[in-house]
Amino acid sequence: MRMILIISLAAAIGLGIGRFAYSLVLPDMRDSLGWSYSTAGFMNTVNAIGYLAGALGAASFIRRVGLFRATWIGALACVISLGICALSGNVILFSFGRLLSGLGAAATFVGGGTLAATIAQSRPEKSALLLSLFYTGPGTGLIVSGLAAPFLLQYFGPGSWWIVWTVLTVLTALMMIPLLLNPVDVPATETSTATSSVPLRPIAFYLAGYFLFGAGYIAYMTFMIAYVRDGGGDAVAQSGFWCLIGLMSFVGPWLWRGLMARGESGMTTAIMIAVTCVGTFIALLGTSPMLLAASAFVFGLSFFPVVAATTVFARLNYPPEAWPKAIGVLTITFGIGQTLGPFVTGAITDAMGSLSYALTISTAALALGAVLCAFQRPLKG
């Protein structure tokens, strides 16, 4: 369990902060730099392109440098990217920082997820729980950034977005220390990807559903803080909303562990995506504190476990030597959805003039994704 928690720091840096903290800073950057919602969404699209590229090259990168090294190199790239984001609001430079963050996050996800799956394999009776613990890492990152960013922006005032990026750079650099000081070794035979293959046709329903999950959830995560702020939410409301999502990710492993242990079909993932869909739908009902808290509660309880469930699906349906490639294929599909989601929803928001349209698209994509995953049958047996 200790090894899993150490590895989860990479996910906290790469996903919880490197990927998602942008949503906390986005409203101030839009106001200070005059960005449209399309431009704001494009920054997460660029990040998703980096994530997609990283996922495409993850298996060969892991084969060259090893699982643990690939994981911490990815985390380090995310730390550097945060520093780049603090330097300038120039669209080109900032886009490069977001691109680098996506590349690093993919390495932490595929490398760390495969490491976690390998460790979990040695403890089959607790495998689902151990895998879920790895995916609480992003929740840790959400809480860290949620406790820092809104209050820094409130204290320093408009235009202080660069201060937030600077502080997040320092915090993630500190989080790198225990990761680097505690290398995690796994048997070399468990990490080979040279002869593995992952045919796509047998998992077509699952891939289509996971694609829609990627497009739907990222629209929510990109624009919800702006939605909360537009509804009158101050720094406390924004921080509370964000941290509640992170806190619920810690509850998720215990709530879903029994279901995930039976995750050889797509039904487990379908149920979790459906619950995530309910979370986004609740936000559409209004911006009262109670509704927003309920939305964050339900959404946070399920959206990170969806990603954990895909790793369980890969572990239960493929041999160990195919895990990095299988997880990579799933991450690529997820990345394509993430690439399209922010820019498309941002453009529609600009055209229609309300963030509620972004949430509507998010809810619809998640609902359809849940239906498609439900059709996926196990590959074994």
Number of Cα atoms under 13 Å in the Cβ half of residue 229: 19
Confirm if 166 and 86 have CB atoms less than 8 A apart: yes
In a domain, 190, yes or no: no
DSSP code string of 270-287: HHHHHHHHHHHHHHHT--
CA pair distance 330, 310, nearest whole angstrom? 7
State the helix-helix crossing angle for 21-33 and 37-65, rounded to 10 degrees: 140
In a domain, 186, yes or no: no
In a domain, 44, yes or no: yes
What are φ and ψ of residue 208, in 5° steps? -65, -40
Q: State which residues form the domain around 43.
A: 2-180+199-374
Q: Specify the pLDDT at position 17.
A: 95
What does DSSP assign to residue 181?
H
Q: For the chain, what is the domain count?
A: 1
In a domain, 193, yes or no: no
In a domain, 114, yes or no: yes
CATH of the domain at 342: 1.20.1250.20
In a domain, 185, yes or no: no
Length of the chain: 381
From first to last of its 381 residues, the chain has per-residue pLDDT tens of 778 888 999 999 998 999 889 999 999 999 999 998 888 888 988 998 998 898 888 878 988 998 899 999 999 999 999 999 999 899 999 999 999 999 999 899 888 888 887 887 777 666 667 777 787 888 899 999 999 999 999 999 999 999 999 999 999 999 999 999 988 766 544 444 444 677 888 899 999 999 999 999 988 988 899 899 988 999 999 999 999 999 998 887 778 878 887 778 899 999 999 999 999 999 999 999 999 999 999 999 988 888 878 888 888 888 887 877 887 788 788 888 888 888 788 888 888 877 888 889 899 999 999 999 999 998 865
In a domain, 191, yes or no: no
Is residue 201 exposed (0-12), middle (13-18) or buried (19+ Cβ within 10 Å)? exposed
Q: Specify the pLDDT at position 300.
A: 92
Q: Specify the pLDDT at position 128.
A: 65
CA pair distance 295, 276, nearest whole angstrom? 9
Q: Specify the pLDDT at position 185.
A: 66
In a domain, 23, yes or no: yes
Query: The dihedral of CA 47, 53, 59, 60: what is its sign?
Result: negative
Cα 101 to Cα 84, 114, 125, 254, distances in angstroms: 10, 20, 35, 30
Q: Specify the pLDDT at position 199.
A: 81
CA pair distance 249, 299, nearest whole angstrom? 9
Question: How far is CA 328 from its chain centroid?
Answer: 14
